[in-house]
């Protein structure tokens, strides 16, 4: 085995080496446990790093310093935050439903960790290569909505309940375009397995990779998927459920101490997993962006892309104002859904038009035409003049 392929498989070799100390019968179990431990250690680690990156990045965009007291350049801030949330008093409101109040963050974090089971983070690096991997991801992702409802309802607080209702309505509305926009990748690959979807994108033409995002339907699907993913994870500009200027903190208003930290963790882990699936479906998963860069290990590419996605999310949060509830729903049902459905048709046409340049032209023209037409029609009634204030004039 050459050095670069050894480096590529270093975690797999490590797993086999550790499992080798155990008797033959226990080895599969030990291997699985090691994989689970790696996931449970790696992604919360990225979460800790992201909190400090996000605060630093937002600070830079807002012309201030951000955290800079703990450690060099504020790098150790997550440690201080963790200790703080562990030592804080855990307050449960008197009228709250104690059991459901306790279960909600646990269910959320467990469900989100389950999503990582089918995420390929490198060559041969997936915990379960399931036949229906993508379906598993969406099924588990859908069940996080219930934990958000549990949190909002059990707190017996009107802000919590309002936030939970907003969150659930938003997540259900954007789940439809999320699912439909990812179906194009499944249609072209012919498999629901995440590993096969990545493998189908691993070829190169000259120097350039066969990522789905470089095709008309793939690009449209990727943009729709990213928008829906932002809404699913309640990130800005879709952060209505926890809009702090309107609802205190939405569904986790009544959570304190480590339960609050669990919600925070769950939210960021959900963001990483959905960004990981966007990478898997459209950005070639762990594949290198140029054929000459293939010597860099596959997991390094995956995590580099993941950090790129995180940077993009932070950038959006620093730039975009929050949507209004009616804008949110109109956008989901009048723009996202028709475009996702049209994209399905375009992907089918791409499949049956055969090789050649004609399918590039036809698919691009259809998608761009639909985008322009739909945009024109939806913007017709809107008057985007200077804002008028009802009370503040």
Chain residues that interact with another protein, rule: CB under 8 A: 100, 130-132, 135-136, 138-143, 145-146, 149-150, 153, 156, 158, 161, 165, 168, 172, 175, 190-192, 390
Of 278 and 337, nearer to another protein (C-beta) is 337
Torsion of CA 180, 184, 187, 189, to 10 degrees: -130
Q: Identify the burial level of 198 via C-beta atoms within 10 angstroms of its C-beta, where 0-12 means exposed, 13-18 middle and 19 or more buried.
A: buried
Of 107 and 306, nearer to another protein (C-beta) is 107
How far apart are CB 390 and another protein at their closest, in Å?
7
Give CA separation, 254 vs 3, 167, 347, in Å.
53, 16, 46
How far apart are CB 140 and another protein at their closest, in Å?
7
Dihedral sign, CA of 21, 25, 31, 36? Answer: negative
Of 139 and 373, nearer to another protein (C-beta) is 139
How far apart are CB 320 and another protein at their closest, in Å?
26
Of 8 and 145, nearer to another protein (C-beta) is 145
CA dist 161 and 159 (Å) reads 5
3-state secondary structure of 129: coil
How far apart are CB 284 and another protein at their closest, in Å?
23
How far apart are CB 344 and another protein at their closest, in Å?
13
How far apart are CB 24 and another protein at their closest, in Å?
23
Give CA separation, 335 vs 331, 377, 379, in Å.
5, 10, 11
The three-state DSSP-derived secondary structure of 137-183 is HHHHHHHHHHHHHHHHHHCCCHHHHHHHHHHHHHHHHHHHHHHHHHH
Neighbours of 143 (CB within 10 A): 15
Of 140 and 247, nearer to another protein (C-beta) is 140
Of 192 and 309, nearer to another protein (C-beta) is 192
Of 141 and 209, nearer to another protein (C-beta) is 141
How far apart are CB 142 and another protein at their closest, in Å?
3
CA dist 60 and 62 (Å) reads 5
Q: Give the residue among 347, 325, 337 at the shortest CA–CA distance from 378.
A: 337
């Amino acid at each position: 085995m050459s050095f670069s392929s050894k480096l590529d498989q270093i975690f797999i070799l490590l797993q086999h080496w550790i499992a080798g100390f155990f008797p033959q019968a226990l080895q599969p179990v030990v291997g699985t446990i090691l994989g689970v431990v790696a996931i449970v250690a790696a992604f919360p680690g990225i979460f800790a790093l992201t909190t400090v990156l996000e605060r630093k990045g937002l600070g830079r965009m807002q012309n201030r310093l951000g955290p800079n007291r703990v450690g060099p350049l504020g790098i150790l801030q997550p440690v201080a935050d963790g200790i703080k949330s562990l030592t804080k008093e855990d307050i449960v409101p008197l009228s709250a439903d104690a059991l459901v109040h306790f279960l909600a963050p646990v269910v959320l974090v467990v469900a989100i960790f389950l999503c990582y089971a089918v995420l390929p983070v490198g060559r041969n690096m997936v915990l379960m290569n399931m036949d229906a991997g993508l379906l598993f991801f969406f099924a588990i992702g859908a069940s996080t909505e219930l934990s958000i409802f549990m949190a909002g309802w059990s707190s017996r607080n009107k802000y919590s309940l309002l936030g939970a209702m907003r969150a659930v309505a938003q997540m259900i509305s954007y789940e439809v375009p999320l699912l439909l926009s990812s179906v194009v990748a499944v249609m072209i690959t012919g498999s629901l397995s995440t590993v096969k979807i990545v493998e189908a994108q691993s070829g190169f033409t000259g120097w350039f990779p066969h990522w789905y995002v470089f095709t008309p339907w793939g690009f449209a699907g990727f943009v729709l998927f990213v928008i829906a993913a932002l809404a699913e994870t309640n990130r800005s500009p879709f952060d209505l459920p926890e809009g702090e200027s309107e609802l205190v903190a939405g569904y986790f208003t009544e959570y304190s101490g480590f339960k609050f930290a669990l919600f925070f963790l769950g939210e960021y882990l959900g963001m990483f997993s959905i960004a990981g699936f966007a990478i898997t479906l459209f950005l070639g998963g762990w594949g290198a962006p140029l054929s000459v860069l293939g010597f860099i290990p596959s997991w390094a590419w995956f995590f580099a892309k993941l950090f790129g996605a995180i940077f993009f999310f932070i950038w959006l949060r620093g730039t975009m104002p929050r949507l209004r509830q009616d804008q949110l729903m109109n956008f989901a049902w009048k723009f996202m859904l028709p475009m996702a459905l049209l994209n399905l048709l375009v992907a089918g046409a791409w499949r049956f038009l055969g090789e050649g340049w004609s399918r590039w032209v036809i698919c691009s023209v259809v998608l761009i035409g639909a985008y322009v037409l739909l945009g024109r029609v939806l913007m017709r009634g809107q008057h985007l003049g200077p804002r008028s204030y009802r009370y503040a004039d």
